[in-house]
Amino acid sequence: MIKLIQIRFIVLISSIALLASCSSNKQENDQVNIIPDSVYLNKGDKLVAHTFDTLRNSLLSAIGQNGLAYAIDFCNEKAYPLTALYQGDSITIRRSSARYRNPKNQPDSLEQATLAGFIVNGPSTKIIRTGNQVHYIKPIIMQAMCLNCHGVPDQNIKPETLQVIHERYPADQAINYAEGDLRGIWHIAFALKR
Ligand code: HEC
């Protein structure tokens, strides 16, 4: 009996040693892969907060200065360069939506699957790892001020605003949202360095 326990103990010790040596060998190659999700969540949250604040403030001041129809150019994340933040990281940031206004914001397959998951399980921020990228995906929820351009025509969207939207985006689908609705997602892709 004692012998059996001893043997088991030896097997346990040697497998721990084996595991330890295994992970230290891999460590150098996989330095980037072992960065935990929490680090990407944190970076993503900061980038989105920065981009969203800039976007929202620019929208509000553009609306205040020249009205809604003029302000439509300001609901565009591309207008705000992120290069000053996180220089050295190779990232892309975009928004997409199941009911999009700009066809460039049509969801890709990963985004589509994530949006479908949000419908079933409710929206929440996610980290998804694919081959050579880490994806940060955060739901975008409609706020009252957004309804000026994404709400119900006539009720929330003034006819003159809708006219400009239609001229610029003839196939617009991004209307009839209500406050609190899931509008779409922020998607930041971090490229893993090899
Ligand atoms: C002044 C009008 C206006 C307001 C206010 C506005 N948007 Fe937009 N929104 C637009 C336009 C125009 C586009 C298309 C931008 C482009 O070409 O990329 C857009 C695009 C988007 C997109 C990208 C997906 C798509 O449909 O192409 C999201 C997400 C979005 N808006 C969310 C919001 C949220 C959230 C708010 C409130 C904080 C908001 N918008 C307020 C006009 C507006």
| Confidence at 68, pLDDT banded by 50, 70, 90 | confident
How far apart are the CA of 76 and the centre of ligand 1, in A?
7
From 148, 149, 161, 172, the mutation candidate for ligand 1 (largest count of ligand atoms within 8 A of CB) is 149
Q: Which atom of ligand 1 approaches the CA of 142 most closely?
A: 35
Whose C-alpha lies nearest to ligand 1, atom 32? 183
Q: What angle do CA 79, 82, 83 make, to 5 degrees?
A: 125
C-beta separation of 46 from 85 below 8 A? yes
* Range from 78-87, 110-119, 171-180, 183-192 carrying the lowest mean pLDDT: 78-87
pLDDT at position 86 is: 54
Place of tokens 């994340």: 77
Q: How far is CA 101 from CA 80, 95, 164, 174, in A?
A: 19, 11, 13, 5
140-172 pLDDT tens trace: 999 999 999 999 999 999 999 999 999 999 999
From 60, 65, 101, 104, the mutation candidate for ligand 1 (largest count of ligand atoms within 8 A of CB) is 101
pLDDT at position 28 is: 46
C-beta separation of 77 from 185 below 8 A? no
Closest CA to 146 of 126, 134, 161: 161
How far apart are the CA of 19 and the centre of ligand 1, in A?
50
Q: Which atom of ligand 1 approaches the CA of 71 most closely?
A: 1
Distance CA 52, CA 80 (A): 10
pLDDT at position 133 is: 94
Residue type, 107: P
How far apart are the CA of 137 and the centre of ligand 1, in A?
17
